[in-house]
Structure 1
Amino acid sequence: MESEADIHVHLASRLRNLRSAHGMTLETLAERTGVSRSMISLIERGKSSPTAAILNRLAGGLGVSLASLFAVEQSPEASPLACRNDQRTWQDPDSGYRRRRLSPPGFPSPLELAEVILPPAARVAYDSNPRTAGIGQQIWIIEGEIVVTTGPDTYRLGTGDCLAMRIDQPNVFHNPTDRPARYLVALAADPSHAGSLSRKLP
């Protein structure tokens, strides 16, 4: 199983590679995201533990989804199996939110699955990311309760509830209870938009 340090190294490499692929300087990405040049530099050198909100802003500035920052380059040789001990887990240093990538790394697929654990009283807010309009998301509550605000709408979800939502608008996840909430996140290409998930989740 990967350590927290390994995940920081992976995030640093992904950000550098995506920024380079888009021909962006640190200054350009900073201007597009509102994240300081010095902070981006620290993240790209593995010297800082970015929050989920900051990673989402950087992903938006790069024109990709947050999930793509944790992804591995796709390969036809990649295994279709992701054993439990090989599934990458990341924790938000701000809220304590934990995200475990369930899908086999690098295996070509139109679907991306992740398990999230949201601690008691935790709140995670994401700015809008219009560049992810071609991706649909659904969340299914495995246990616990969360309140989701997506755009102008708010939903209180309990065990067994499933919500389809857009990720190209502001979204807030809040656990108002004194117990952790655990839910499944599924992302897939939205058939109403051109393009594929593989283009959004490289």
Structure 2
Amino acid sequence: MTIDELLSTRVRALRKQRGYTLEVLAQRSGVSRSMISLIERGQTSATAAVLGKLAQALQVPLAALFADERQTRAPQPLARADAQPCWRDPATGYERRQLSPVGFPAPFEMLEVVFPPGQRVAFDNGLRSQALHQQLWLLQGELQLTLGTLSWHLRAGDCLAMVLDQTLVFSNPGREPARYLLVLAAPGSSLPPLPVVFPGEMDD
């Protein structure tokens, strides 16, 4: 099964689990009914922005849309490099590789992302029933992140901790791809309260 086939299966399965019709999911997500139908039938490749809207409406992390629940054998603790699922956004060229072993129980998940220069992607996280914790370690290039009213310009080696409870915008203002590691807390993980961030602690 290809990544696009997996995405179509997962969107359809999650929609049915929640008892949503195509019309209801379209209203909740802002994605047209016809587009959702094409995605579920595997007749189009959804962009990162569209997948973000669908995940938001389905009340799941974006990573849940890439979870393959068809496994018949016990999850293994080792994910070989050549077997790690990789997805490419058809709109921006953004590449997302799942590093963590698929289905293996853990309180977090690791992803590697390569973000092309000059590109921008926005994810709306404001309506989630549960805020998600995420940390980003920039390995190469530069990246501009905006979370709600806060903004950071990251350079190679910087690490940013975030709580995904507002609109999150990624953009690459540089001339080379930005490569970064994402660590996402699993839904329901026990985490300490988020400390207060004062404006003076942010980058210009």
| TM-score over 0.5 for the pair | yes
SS of residue in 2 equivalent to 1:49: coil
TM-superposed deviation, 1:109: 1.2
- RCO (CA 8 Å, sep 6+): is it higher in 1 or 2? 1
Query: What residue number does 2:200 align with?
Result: none
Q: Which residue of 2 aligns with 1:156?
A: 153
3-state SS in 2 of match to 1:67: helix
Unaligned runs of 5+ in 2: 194-204
Q: Residue 66 of structure 1: CA displacement?
A: 0.7
Provide the rounded CA distance (Å) in 2 between the counterparts of 1:95 and 1:18: 26
Read off the aligned partner of 1:179 and give its amino acid letter: E
| Partner Cα separation in structure 1 for residue 9 and residue 138 of structure 2 | 32
Counterpart of 1:40? 36
Task: Measure how far apart 1:132 and its partner are.
Answer: 5.8
Root-mean-square deviation (CA), in Å?
Answer: 1.7
Q: Report % sequence identity.
A: 51
Structure-2 change in CA distance of 1:121 and 1:132 (3 Å): farther
Q: Alignment partner for residue 12 of structure 1, among 8, 11, 20? A: 8
Q: Deviations over 1:96-140 (max 9, x none)?
A: 110001110111111111000011111111123432634200000
Quick check: which has more Rg, 1 or 2? 2
Count of matched residue positions in the alignment of Structure 1 and Structure 2: 189
| Match for residue 121 of structure 1 among 96, 118, 121 | 118
Shift of 1:56: 0.5
**With structure 1 as the length reference, what TM-score do the two structures score?**
0.88
Query: In 1, are the aligned partners of 2:144 and 2:153 still within 8 Å (CA)?
Result: yes
**Secondary structure at the counterpart of residue 49 of structure 2:** helix
Counterpart CA distance in 2 for 1:138 and 1:162 is: 7
* Partner Cα separation in structure 1 for residue 111 and residue 93 of structure 2: 16
Q: For residues 60-115 of structure 1, what are the alpha-carbon distances to aligned partners after superposition, in whole Å with 9 as ceiling and x for unaligned?
A: 11110111111233888110110001111111111111000111011111111100
Shift of 1:190: 5.3
Counterpart residue number, 2:67: 71
